[in-house]
Amino acid sequence: MATRPAQVIGVEGSTPVYHSATATTGDKVKPGPRTFITVKNAGGVSTQVVLSGVGKTSYQEDLPDKDYTVPTAGEMDIPIKPEFANPDDGGLATFVCTPAASVTFAVRQI
C-alpha cells in the first residue's frame, strides 16, 4: 500500500503525475478541503473505487464506505474530503480500485 502526496496546482498550472493503482490493499492519501484524485480507467470494464474507513461523524460514529464507479475507458475526479480521514491511520484516507489493472490515478490539490 503506497501513500501518495498531493501535487499542488499552482497559478502556472501543472502536469499531473499518475501512479498505478495498488490491487487489493489500495493506496493512501492525506485528505484536505481542496484535495482530489483523478482516476483513469484504461481497462475494458468499469472499475469500482472504494474509500474505506472514511472517518467519523460529529458524534464519533463510523462513516460508511464511499464508492464510485469509473466507466470503461473513462476518468473521474473524486474529492478526498477531510471527513474521509481515518483517525486510526494517521489521518490518511485509503482507497481501493477493483479491478486495479489498467487503472492509474493522480493526487491533486488546488
- State pLDDT tens for residues 47-75: 999 998 666 777 888 778 899 999 999 99
Average pLDDT for residues 22-29, to the nearest whole number?
A: 94
Average pLDDT for residues 68-84, to the nearest whole number?
A: 95
Percent of the chain with pLDDT over 70: 96
76, pLDDT greater than 70:
yes
Q: Which of 15-29, 43-57, 83-97 holds the top average pLDDT?
A: 15-29
Distance CA 70, CA 47 (A): 5
Domain that holds residue 38: 2-109
User: 91 to each of 32, 45, 73, 95, how far by Cα in Å?
Assistant: 10, 32, 32, 13
